[in-house]
Amino acid sequence: MDKLITIKEAVDKLKDGMTIMVGGFLTTGGPNLLMDAIAESGINELTLVCNDAAFADKGLGKLIANKQVRKLITSYIGSNPTAIELMNSSQMEIEFSPQGTLIERIRAAGAGLGGVLTPTGLGTMVENGKQVIELDEKKFILEKPIKADISFIGASISDKMGNLYYKGTTRNFNPLMAMAADIVIAEVEQVVEIGAIEPENIHTPAILVDYLIVK
């Protein structure tokens, strides 16, 4: 199966109101060309799941700055003044999730779990509206899985089947986000022949990747 598509074809799969995951850590390892294209697309009312709000003029931060995001599920927004402004003016809903909890919720969706139990956030705003479960005389917050319609991820190398390799810290959230969406689109720096990536260096297997974009 030929998984290579154009950026336009990738953006055309996105519709108003969808929930999307975007990999990267302050744009490092993120699908930044795809974010540029979505920022110009006019798509609106998105729910965006990401580690952070990036920067107002870079990566997924452009979607926030353009007011294309209705709800943001994230662990950190301090690098993006526009996100802070939109939150304080109630123009964008923000669900804060501690970073470790956030990635565990994503992992839970990919693994088909009903949720994760964590003590992180007990007695804080993180606990508000959530079920607290007591086990062995200890309390835990039940954090429910997060799943997306589309995951947009970045990778260093892909083979022609879609097996992905991430260099260094660019791996970050990308592998788990590739497990937690109906459609996975990877923006990659290089495509190589099948077999060129050593099996032990495949971080995301091709079965999880639907489409590839080459930078």
Distance between CA atoms of 30 and 15, rounded to whole angstroms?
20
pLDDT at 1: 56
Q: Does domain 7-109+145-194+201-214 have CATH number 3.40.50.300?
A: no
- One-letter-per-residue 3-state SS of 60-101: CHHHHHCCCEEEEEECECCCCHHHHHHHHCCCCEEEECCHHH
Residue 10: which of 184, 177, 131 has the closest Cα? 184
Pairing of strands 132-135, 138-143: antiparallel
pLDDT at 22: 98
Tokens of 66: 């353009």
Distance between CA atoms of 72 and 87, rounded to whole angstroms?
10
Weakly modelled stretches of the chain, pLDDT under 70: 1
> pLDDT digits over 137-159, tens only?
999 999 999 999 999 999 999 99
pLDDT at 2: 86
pLDDT at 100: 96
pLDDT at 66: 96
- Owner of token pair 């990635």: 103
Domain coordinates of the chain in residue numbers?
Answer: 7-109+145-194+201-214
List residues bridging with 141 in a β-sheet.
118, 132
pLDDT at 151: 98
